[in-house]
Amino acid sequence: MSKLGKLLLNKYFVTILWFGLSLAAVIKQTAHHHINNYFIYKYTFVNLLNQHNLYTPQPQFYFDTNHYGPLFGLLIAPFTYLPDSIGVILWVLFNVSVLYIAIRQLPFTLNQQLAVLLICAHELMTAAFAVQFNPSMAAIIILSFVFINRKQDFWATLLIVAGTLIKLYGIVGLAFFFFSKDKVKFIWSFALWSVVLYALPMLVSSPHFVNQSYLDWYESLSHKNGENTMSTMQDISVMGMIRRVFNYPQLSNTLVLLPGLLLFATAYLRFKWFSNMQFRYLLLASTLIFTVIFSTGSESPTYIIAFTGVAIWFMNLDRPITGFEIFLLVFALLITSLSPSDLFPKYINKHYIKPYAFKALPCFVIWLRIIYETLTRNFSRKGSAEEVVLS
């Protein structure tokens, strides 16, 4: 292995890079007072305490509106008691740390874990610039997968329910239900956590306000879904690409989402491989990517979720890796990860990538490749994962 290769797979170097890039990003944004998202998050808790509608505009404090559930107020609560300049930095480091821990919990080899971290480090920095919650959302999906693999369904369902009540995306953790060895336990623990976490915000507010907040949240998301199709910053999805490339804004989401769901579900036709780790990794990667590329709420910082799926897919490939597979990874690194940065030609990003939502294109192509692999791959051959079959 070359000196560069040894450096890139050095645990300390990768860890410093992982945290350092995101720390530099949030410090820069804090210095320029570009932390509007943090104020939205902060006032979710403040408004929960004061029983002020969580989803109405508050231009005196922040721009845009909140789109997170009442439970999110409890998650952000500890940071709100700190000065904003400190709270926002710790908030970003918290999200970065949670995703780091989740990736390190995957039953890959150490080098494979480090490679996933390296592939995702720049995309993580994009999320850090926006002081986004999305790294934790990716971690919630990954850890729900990890806990099910470890036969710890009680904790897996805690994360699935929490992720759902915070940002809806967590519901995709149910994709791993068929990997559970104790489905009855999975179901009752899911029901238990649903009741507990639904009611938890009532401890700092009131039952009436929290119940109303969930109704308000639904209305807020419905309204936002309509607005997303008119914004170049949102709807960076398969539907968004089709709308913009073909100048067809009236495209129904269902016409794209339904075929996508059917393709996603084809993985379950190969139920004989449910205990195979390579198969499970493919479904994990598919789930992470699908969650983003078929959501009208997807924006550039959301892609840390999808890009983690890209990295997991790449590290789970049969060896030797083909030239086409390397091309797909490079394609994703260039168009999805680097295009919003100063490392990418601004003219191309401004006139092609952003207007046509092409940030979603590489992830969509890789997702189709994953679907193909899921249906055709010979999982009886030893592959890239250290642990191939679970007992």
- Given a cut of 60, whether residue 383 has pLDDT beyond it is no
**High-pLDDT (> 90) share of the chain, %:** 88
Q: List the chain domain ranges.
A: 3-376
- Say whether pLDDT at 187 is over 80: yes
Q: Model confidence over 139-159: pLDDT tens digits?
A: 999 999 999 999 999 999 999
d(CA 127, CA 284): 21
The pLDDT tens digits for 250-287 are 999 999 999 999 999 999 999 999 999 999 999 999 99
Would you state the pLDDT for residue 386?
43
pLDDT value of residue 389: 42
Least confident of 60-64, 107-111, 175-179, 380-384: 380-384
Q: What is the rounded average pLDDT of the residues 303-311?
A: 98
Residue 384 reports pLDDT greater than 60: no
Please say if the pLDDT value at position 104 is more than 70. yes
pLDDT exceeds 80 at position 194 = yes
Average pLDDT of the residues of the chain: 93
pLDDT of 366 over the 90 cut: yes
The yes-or-no verdict on residue 121 having pLDDT over 60 is yes
CB-CB neighbours of 223 under 10 Å: 13
pLDDT digits (tens, 9 = 90+) for 83-103: 999 999 999 999 999 999 999
The per-residue pLDDT for range 312-353, each reduced to its tens digit, is 999 999 989 999 999 999 999 999 999 999 889 999 999 999
Q: Is the pLDDT of residue 306 over 60?
A: yes
Angle at 81 between CA 78 and CA 86, to 5 degrees: 90
Assess whether pLDDT exceeds 50 at residue 388: no
Q: What confidence score (pLDDT) does residue 231 get? A: 63
